[in-house]
Structure 1
Amino acid sequence: MAIEYGLNEEQEMLKKMARDFFAKECPMTTVRKLMAHETGFSPELWKKMSELGWLGLVFPEEYGGSGMSFRDMTILLEEMGRIVLPSPYISTLLMVGMPVLAFGTKEQKDELLPKIAKGEVVCTLAALEEDGDWWADSINLRADRRGDQYIINGTKLFVPDARAANYMLVAARTKRTENPEEGITLFLLDTKEVWGTVSTRLKTMDETRKQYEVVFMNVPVPAKNILGELHNGWPIMKQIALNTTAALCAEMVGAGEKVLEMTVAYLKERVAFGVVIGSFQALQHRAADLVIGLEYSRSLMEWAAEAIKEGDPDVATAVSMAKSFCGDTCKKVVAEGIQMHGGIGFTWDHDMHLYFKRVWASDTAFGDGIYHRELIAKTLDEIHQLAGGGRWMKMPGRTSPTG
């Protein structure tokens, strides 16, 4: 049975407000216009979102925030997913704002968080490199100490909203050790105060989210701009991954539910062979399977959000389970949605392909289902060993016990 957390009155109001707001301020015609824009988002819409308190939703009131929870944020993210919102919301709040709130110095918080809440800045995370994966040994961009500053050299790939970003959180290698998780440091760059960066737009699957290659050439960064501890940035990166992955799950669920609604509406109105195609039992069964899959996806997403909110010790497992299931299910939903729309679903003028690309891109970001099932398997392996069981050997495509 799917877990049902339900929404309280305040959360229901937030959901309705967000749905009404986005329907009015960002219809699909606006989404398509923003896709063609260089930075891919509307500063005017960004400002309106800040006026509603959404950009500081999880920040304390002392920083201009609303003091709400991560679970509340996922409600908003679902509604963003329903309209494939082109926005730096995730890159600004999840990838930078929340890490600064959790790990930043008082000066860093005072400097950045009120600006985010007011909609004055856009932020992003520069983490991925040539390998394109989320393992610590993939971070090779160098930051070398020179006096009271560090000099950054290297290249980052798939940096979201880099062209629009006022602040960039950069993961760099500051020390080489046998353990790749050690020696990683996070630097908070004010893009208006540094020189030596070149950003190049990348052609990616989802045109509603702009991503860039960013080259750092002898970029000087003051040591005071380090977020957290020197050489100990990987735990922060893991927290960023947890929060952002759960956020992407919420977006995918929202997108999947919208696609299902569009598909069912089409099945009820499309006539073929003299009858409405929704009367065909085969299509009814396919639609019913999608409903069931989305219900389980929602349950896992809500569990992950609650785990983050409560600081549950099993939060990593909850998030990996949610991402694995939500990604696989929502990819199936958007693919089935296109198929059940028939030929029109494959056209550029129809909106289905926008949802398809957003969901597939979100599934890839921060690890797809295969990656997260591997994380779950590692957790089970650790539990198995602690319980006195035999060691589990990694096999191609599966894990199998050896003792």
Structure 2
Amino acid sequence: MTTPPTSAVPTPAAASAAASAAGDPAGVDAAAAPSGGGLDLLYTDVEDALRASVRDLLTARCTPDAVVAAYDGDRSLTATLWKALAVDLGLAGLLVPEERGGAGASAREAAVVLEELGRFAAPVPFLTSAVVATTALLASMDDDLLVRLAAGERTAALVVPLSADAAGFRPVVRVQEDGTLHGRVTSVAGAVEADVLVVPVATGGGVALHAVEASAARVDHVVSLDMTRPLADVTLDGVRGELVVGADAGADAVRLALETGAALMASEQLGVAQWCLSATVGYLLERRQFGRVVGGFQAIKHRLADLYVVVESASAAARHAAVTAAEQDPDRTVAASVAQAYCSGAAVRAAEECVQLHGGIGMTWEHPAHLYLKRAKADQITFGTPGRHRALLGELVDLPA
């Protein structure tokens, strides 16, 4: 997949995103934009067409009633929906180069997909398999597993805790002299659906990545707040794996995978926030109280206006993170932490406002608002908390403690 060229545009949005992380989401001088000011943040025709295809599929197959079933233990939607996305639309291989069996797209297109998945709270392993695990495996010289992942034939999960961040992750799995792996990793996202576990292993020479068949490991499902992205504790006790990335390159592969995951998860959080804002506005334009539309009350207008600013600022931060990741811009690490520091809170605020402004119906199991609140709260601790990313930002831009 190739992206047609578009004219470069000024990007005050990028500066707005940086200011948002410091608590000023609304206004900032465009001259204060970071060095990525020359990046093109506009969506291309290809990205718009991709969005339309994904949205049409999810509208038809990913209804709130079907998603809620996951909380009753029904995971049937995940398998059918993932096949449609990964195989029929070919989205599993977006980040894999064409010469290695993939679509040859970039983080820009993957971000568009994640916006739509967030908008529908879709219970599929796109983030964990097609983004994080696949990015780690791009460092592998053996293309067999990568080709099968890109084709949607298999799914994978990087065996790290849900809260692991690129700067602070340390592997706990060890390899014995006989070549077997030993260790236990808790709260791993994507392991329940994975066919293959990509395990970071601490060695004397660094961090190596081993591919382990999920059936060979002990995968214990744990109760999580967001059951559309289930967690599991993974135990490796004398399991043998295949070395896919050597100890000289494994640490960098894991760091890049977690950083890319954090950068692109901001787009999922944006999708959550956009759905919450849209659903709330739609409801308040229909709901009547005291003889008038509820959305016409001044206090409600103020809350919606404030929420709109928050969501638009999140859009700027998420898009900047996705584009810098796609372009391998020097500011990509800063952009990823800015996006997570801001978008995590933005999604939670939008979901909380959605629940509250829907009144009584927003508190019920029947209304889908709870799906988005749970997704937003779970995402808030994924790949590093907002506080962790603010601390990282301080180090990255040389702010004093």
TM normalised by structure 2 equals: 0.85
Partner of 1:178: none
Q: Which residue of 70, 74, 86 corresponds with 2:107?
A: 70
Report % sequence identity: 29
* 2:231 equivalent in structure 1: 211
- Shift of the 360–137 alpha-carbon distance from structure 1 to 2, 3 Å rule, reads closer
- Of 333, 338, 348, the residue aligned with 1:331 is 348
Task: Pick closer, same or farther for the CA change 1:2–1:137 going to 2, 3 Å.
Answer: closer
Question: Matches of 2:351 and 2:70 in 1, distance apart?
Answer: 22
Q: 1:2 aligns with which of 2, 13, 35?
A: 13
Q: Which amino acid aligns with 1:2?
A: A
Indicate yes or no: 2:318 matched with 1:301.
yes
1:218 and 1:211 map into 2 onto residues whose CA distance is 22
The 3-state SS of whatever aligns with 1:189 is strand
How far residue 41 of structure 1 moved from its aligned partner, in angstroms, is 4.9
Once structures 1 and 2 are overlaid, which stretch shifts more, 27-36 or 135-144? 135-144
Letter in 1 for 2:345: D
Tell me, yes or no, if the aligned pair for 2:107 and 2:264 is still in contact at 8 Å. Answer: no
Work out which of the residue numbers 50, 61, 72 in structure 2 matches 1:36: 72
Q: 1:365-384, aligned counterparts within 5 Å? A: 365-381=382-398
Question: Does residue 251 of structure 1 match 2:288?
Answer: no
Do 2:137 and 2:244's aligned partners in 1 also have CA atoms closer than 8 Å? Answer: no
**Matching residue of 1:396:** none
User: Contact between 1:90 and 1:244, CA under 8 Å: does it hold in 2?
Assistant: yes
Q: Deviations over 1:250-306 (max 9, x none)?
A: 001011101101000111111122221111111111111111111111111111111
Q: Matches of 1:234 and 1:291 in 2, distance apart?
A: 39
The number of residue pairs the alignment matches comes to 363
Q: Does 1:164 align with 2:193?
A: yes
Q: Secondary structure at the match of 1:299?
A: helix
What's the offset of the Cα at 1:172?
2.2
User: Residues 117 and 138 of structure 1: is their aligned pair in 2 closer, same or farther, counting only changes over 3 Å?
Assistant: closer
Larger radius of gyration: 1
CA distance in 1 between counterparts of 2:45 and 2:201 reads: 44
Asked if structure 2 preserves the Cα contact closer than 8 Å seen for 1:40 and 1:210, the reply is no
Counterpart position of 2:124 = 87
The corresponding residue for 1:48 is 84
CA distance in 1, matches of 2:250, 2:96: 22
CA deviation profile, 1:118-174 (whole Å, cap 9, x unmatched): 221111111129xx544646532222232xxx2211211111232331111112222
Q: Partners of 1:355 and 1:370 in 2: how far apart?
A: 22
Tell me what 1:179 maps to: none
Q: Assess if the C-alpha contact under 8 Å between 1:154 and 1:217 holds in 2.
A: yes
- 1:125: which partner in 2? 158
Taking the TM superposition and a 5 Å limit, the aligned residue runs for 1:279-294 are 279-294=296-311
1:329 and 1:247 mapped to 2: Cα distance?
Answer: 15
Residue 156 to residue 244, structure 1, CA distance change in 2 (3 Å): same
Separation in structure 1 between the aligned mates of residue 76 and residue 221 of structure 2, nearest angstrom: 11
> Which of 181, 195, 209 is the aligned partner of 1:186?
209
Moved more, 369-378 or 47-56: 47-56
Match of 1:173 in 2: 202
Quick check: 1:170–1:188 contact (8 Å CA) kept in 2?
yes
Root-mean-square deviation over aligned CA pairs: 2.0
CA deviation profile, 1:85-136 (whole Å, cap 9, x unmatched):
00011111112112212x011x2x1x1122123221111111129xx54464
Structure-2 residue corresponding to 1:154: 183
Q: Distance in 1 between matches of 2:110 and 2:164?
A: 26
Distance 1:208 1:262 in 2: 20
Contact 2:212 2:240 in 1 (8 A): no
1:358-369 maps to which residues of 2 (within 5 A)? 358-369=375-386
Per-residue deviation, residues 34-62 of structure 1 (Å, max 9, x unmatched): 44346575322222222212111222233
1:230 aligns with 247
SS of residue in 2 equivalent to 1:165: coil
- Picking from 278, 293, 298, the partner of 1:261 is 278
| Aligned residue number for residue 144 of structure 1 | 176
Note if contact 1:40-1:87 (Cα within 8 Å) is conserved in structure 2: no
Query: Relative to 1, partners in 2 of residues 1:62 and 1:298: Cα closer, same or farther, differing over 3 Å?
Result: same
Q: Is the 8 A contact 1:174 1:231 kept in 2?
A: no
Partners of 2:56 and 2:109 in 1: CA distance: 17
Q: Give CA deviations for 1:16-75 in whole Å, capped at 9, x if unaligned.
A: 111111101211122122443465753222222222121112222334422222101111
1:310/1:375 CA distance change after superposition, 3 Å: same
Question: How far apart, CA to CA, are the structure 2 residues paired with 1:318 and 1:136?
Answer: 17
